[in-house]
Amino acid sequence: MSETANTVSTPPTNRELTTAQRRAVAELMRVSPVADELGRRFAAAGHELHLVGGSVRDALLGRLGDDLDFCTDAKPEQTLAIIKGWAEAIWTTGQEFGTIGLQRGGLRLEVTTFRAEAYDRVSRNPIVKYGTSLDDDLRRRDFTVNAMAVSVPGHVFADPHGGLADLAARKLRTPGTPQESFADDPLRMLRAARFAAQLRFEVVPPVRAAMEAMSADLGRITAERIRDELVKLMSSADPVTGLRLLVDTGLADQFLPELAGLRLEIDEHAQHKDVYEHTLTVVRNAIALETDGPDFVLRLAALMHDVGKPATKAVGTGGRVSFHHHEVVGARLTKQRMQALKFPKDVISAVSGLVALHLRFYGYGRGEWTDSAVRRYVTDAGDLLDRLHKLTRSDVTTRNRRKAAALAADYTALEERISRIAAEEDLARVRPDLDGNEIMKLLGIPPGPLVGKAWRHLKELRLDRGPLTHEEAEAELRRWAAEQGV
């Protein structure tokens, strides 16, 4: 059970509800010149306009951003006519779903026709059906806290499903039955986990039960939509709460089975720490080391760093448990899972690269690392070095204070050593001491594979021995060429 779910919420008082409404009005006043002006244009054309959904929720929380959502009884083509000449920019990519986007006064606005959208409960394709009233629209929203609206320019508050009380109590409920809501759009189950992580809300028991019973329905959702929800969850204030909910309800099994797989069975002869709990602790540790907002690559690498352990678990003599080469297996599994979720290649490369490298540091404290090993560590990490520092430090979760202090001291020593060598050499751009043109000129060979082979040989020397003088590099190249029969 999540930590959030263990808390007991008391019903909000009338004073708390009034305070929330005042906060929302204060937030709305900040954007009201644009919102109200747009509302007057719709009213002049005989249509309603309401600020709706997450925008109202965030206004009530005192965190309204610059992206505002509106709903209206006007059809998309009517909306386009109303905003023509007023909007500073217009985009129609969502027009087939009833949404018109625009920009005005530094705000990004989306205006959507009242909808009664639903899935056909068989395929992945939504059925777009326009509703006839604000009530129709709010009834089809995912959660009550997102089913509130404020009219513009009148600022009349609409809350037919008790969203304000749920917001004050930090509870996540659906306007209708959760079974109906999730059948219409199974992605809402992932949104529940995301809001639990993002807003630290409690998912009420009926919603949680429906998530467990209907987790397999997530198979109707495209990989891209699932990926986007995972990114939002992992980038939230408290992703661990959301991750626990995904695992406990069986949703993780549908798109991230490696996470649930970390809950390894611990037998009486092979005691070892719970890899699942360790992983969640590493995620928390990594978040604590962030310096410039959420780092999704670092967080996902922390989540996936040990996914190779179940496949590599072995029990040796004396009941000792080992996971040899789990970083190699884990990097492969991470790459495969991220490819299935349609992540961009550069993000896949970064996350799987960190998983592959996360164990490289261990052994440094035994004094086995030469300067050459340090150079290779930095070169192999490349642009990921700063994240690798954070991931490696995050991976220390032992309760043995002496051991934890020793590992931290060892890594500090490694970082200082990297800084010392970097001050002497340009570790960020380790290159051979001779470039391709010099290699071809010295050996009298044309462009081709042999030049690349010579270049790689010189780079290995550079990593092993550090910078060479031009004369030393030429001598080493001639020696290698002679051995190769060039």
Residues 409-419 have pLDDT tens digits of: 887 888 888 88
Higher pLDDT, residue 482 or 238: 238
pTM (whole model) above 0.85: no
Q: CA distances (Å), 113 to each of 99, 160, 312, 404, in order? A: 7, 19, 53, 57
Instruction: Please tell me the distance from the alpha carbon of residue 262 to that of residue 313, in angstroms, as a whole number.
Output: 11
- Asked if 97 and 113 touch (Cβ cutoff 8 Å), the reply is no
What are the residues whose beta carbons fall under 8 Å from the beta carbon of 312, sequence distance 6 or more?
A: 322, 323, 324, 325, 326, 329
Residue 350 has pLDDT above 60, yes or no: yes
Per-residue pLDDT, 230: 98
Higher pLDDT, residue 433 or 390: 390
Residues 154-164 have pLDDT tens digits of: 888 899 999 99
Per-residue pLDDT, 310: 87
Tokens of 381: 């990490």
The mean pLDDT value of the chain amounts to 84
Q: Which region among 23-32, 225-234, 338-347, 458-467 has the lowest average model confidence (pLDDT)?
A: 23-32
Q: Which region among 243-247, 276-280, 447-451 has the lowest average model confidence (pLDDT)?
A: 447-451
Instruction: Please tell me the distance from the alpha carbon of residue 286 to that of residue 288, in angstroms, as a whole number.
Output: 5
Per-residue pLDDT, 363: 62
Per-residue pLDDT, 313: 81
Tokens of 274: 């719970």
Residues 36-79 have pLDDT tens digits of: 999 999 999 999 999 999 989 988 887 888 899 999 999 999 99
Instruction: Using pLDDT thresholds of 50, 70 and 90, give the confidence band for residue 222.
Output: very high
Helix axes 275-288, 385-394, angle to 10 degrees: 130
Amino acid symbol at 397? T
Mean pLDDT to the nearest integer, 423-451: 72
Per-residue pLDDT, 2: 37
**Domains along the chain?**
1-176 (3.30.460.10), 177-252 (1.10.110.30), 257-429 (1.10.3210), 436-484 (no CATH)
Higher pLDDT, residue 272 or 108: 108
Instruction: Using pLDDT thresholds of 50, 70 and 90, give the confidence band for residue 173.
Output: very high
Per-residue pLDDT, 304: 97
Residues 69-124 have pLDDT tens digits of: 999 999 999 999 999 999 999 999 989 889 999 999 889 999 999 987 555 666 55
Instruction: Please tell me the distance from the alpha carbon of residue 296 to that of residue 128, in angstroms, as a whole number.
Output: 33
Per-residue pLDDT, 9: 42
3-state secondary structure the chain: CCCHHHCCCCCCCHHHHHHHHHHHHHHHHHHHHHHHHHHHHHHHCCCCEEEECHHHHHHHCCCCCCEEEEEECCCHHHHHHHHCCCCCEEECCCHHHCEEEEEECCEEEEEEECECCEECCCCCCEECCECCCHHHHHHCCCCHHHCCEEECCCCCEECCCCHHHHHHHCEECCCCCHHHHHHHCCHHHHHHHHHHHHCCCEECHHHHHHHHHCHHHHHHCCHHHHHHHHHHHHCCCCHHHHHHHHHHHCCHHHHCHHHHCCCCCCCCCCCCCCHHHHHHHHHHHHHHCCCCCCCHHHHHHHHHCCCCHHHHCEECHHHCEECCCHHHHHHHHHHHHHHHCCCCHHHHHHHHHHHHHCCCCCCHHHCCCCHHHHHHHHHHHHHHHHHHHHHHHHCCCCCCHHHHHHHHHHHHHHHHHHHHHHHHCCHHHCCCCCCHHHHHHHHCCCCCHHHHHHHHHHHHHHHHHCCCCHHHHHHHHHHHHHHHCC
Report the share of the chain in percent with pLDDT over 90.
49
Higher pLDDT, residue 247 or 58: 247
